């Protein structure tokens, strides 16, 4: 059905307004991703220092025996990173699917879920998984450290009164993949990987590592900072991926709106031309009548 000039004008104005919103969201996504990426890179360097400290401790002591014992954890905490900002497609649903798949593949008697984002919490409820705690995702790069500290505190509270080897902590989040794609990954945080607890065959420096503080306090601090850096990195990476996802979707939306605008503008031009032609014909017929 052919549309009138007024209808086409309203459609053109609406699409133009939508395009402005889409372009704004695309720009904001590109801008917001940069601080999170810088945060992820910065914590990566800090994490390397912590891992070197742990390697030095293991090299000096010959290994951490009570952490290398083959004890199967009886409690698991799943930390799932979602989004509350919207306009990022099925981001939360993919994370919820990954949490469900991991729970089925790696069953455990006692399982707790720490959820980041209320929308992810709703997606988990649809999968018949009830989060124990739902935290707000960071609103800026400055909030990543706050969130990571809160998560570490809750991990310590959950593990209070039991051996570290009896608690398993797994993070589920999205990260960037090759060719601009994203992937949802599950990364085990605790118990510590065996590769971190074995002494190096050869120390990298000519100076052997040493320390003067209490060994138990040093090990506790190293493990806590390792957990903090890992959670910080996962949170920052998840936010980078979220903004990258939103950017890609906004680019697709912008292209779609532009195509619709071209069609509407062409129809609008044709209708205007037809109206002008009809008015000219009326004038000519009136002149010869």
- Residue 171: what pLDDT? 95
Which helix (H) or strand (E) segment holds residue 77: the answer is strand 75-81
Report the percent of the chain where pLDDT is more than 70. 91
Q: What is the pTM of this model?
A: 0.82
- Residue 140 predicted with pLDDT over 90: no
pLDDT tens digits for range 208-242: 777 788 888 888 889 899 999 999 999 999 999 88
The answer to whether the Cα torsion of 73, 194, 186, 224 is positive or negative is positive
Place of tokens 């990566």: 44
Report residue 132 as tokens. Answer: 């124990």
Confidence of residue 58 (pLDDT cuts 50, 70, 90): confident
pLDDT tens digits for range 141-192: 889 999 999 999 999 888 776 666 678 899 999 987 776 678 899 999 988 8
Q: What superfamily does domain 26-197+213-245 belong to in CATH?
A: ATP synthase, F1 complex, gamma subunit (3.40.1380.10)
Structural domain boundaries in the chain: 5-23+248-283, 26-197+213-245
- In order, the DSSP letters of 39-61 are HHHHHHHHHHHHHHHHHHHHHHH
Distance of CA 282 to the CA centre of its chain: 64
pLDDT tens digits for range 252-263: 888 888 888 888
Q: Which residues contact 189 (CB under 8 A, 6 or more apart)?
A: 79, 169, 170, 171, 227, 230, 231
């Amino acid at each position: 059905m052919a549309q009138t000039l007024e209808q086409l004008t309203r459609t053109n104005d609406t699409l133009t307004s939508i395009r402005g919103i889409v372009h704004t969201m695309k720009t904001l996504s590109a801008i917001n991703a940069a601080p999170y990426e810088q945060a992820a890179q910065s914590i990566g360097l800090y994490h390397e220092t912590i891992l070197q400290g742990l390697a030095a401790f293991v090299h000096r002591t010959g290994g951490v025996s009570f952490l290398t014992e083959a004890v199967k954890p009886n409690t698991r905490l799943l930390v799932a990173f979602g989004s509350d900002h919207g306009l990022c497609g099925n981001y939360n649903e993919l994370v919820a699917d990954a949490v469900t798949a991991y729970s089925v593949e790696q069953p455990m008697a006692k399982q707790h879920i720490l959820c980041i984002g209320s929308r992810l919490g709703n997606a988990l409820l649809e999968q018949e998984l009830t989060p124990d705690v739902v935290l707000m995702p960071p609103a800026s790069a400055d909030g990543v450290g706050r969130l990571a500290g809160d998560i570490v505190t809750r991990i310590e509270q959950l593990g209070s009164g039991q051996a570290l080897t009896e608690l398993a902590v797994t993070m589920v989040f999205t990260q960037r993949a090759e060719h601009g794609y994203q992937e949802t990954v599950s990364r085990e945080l605790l118990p510590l990987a065996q590769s971190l607890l074995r002494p190096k065959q050869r120390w990298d420096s000519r100076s052997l590592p040493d320390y003067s503080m209490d060994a138990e306090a040093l090990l506790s601090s190293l493990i806590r900072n390792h957990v903090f850096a890992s959670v910080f990195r996962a949170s920052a990476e998840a936010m980078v991926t979220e903004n990258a996802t939103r950017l890609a979707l906004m680019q697709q939306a912008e292209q779609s709106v532009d195509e619709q605008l071209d069609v509407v503008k062409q129809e609008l031009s044709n209708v205007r031309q037809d109206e002008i032609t009809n008015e000219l014909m009326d004038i000519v017929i009136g002149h010869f009548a």
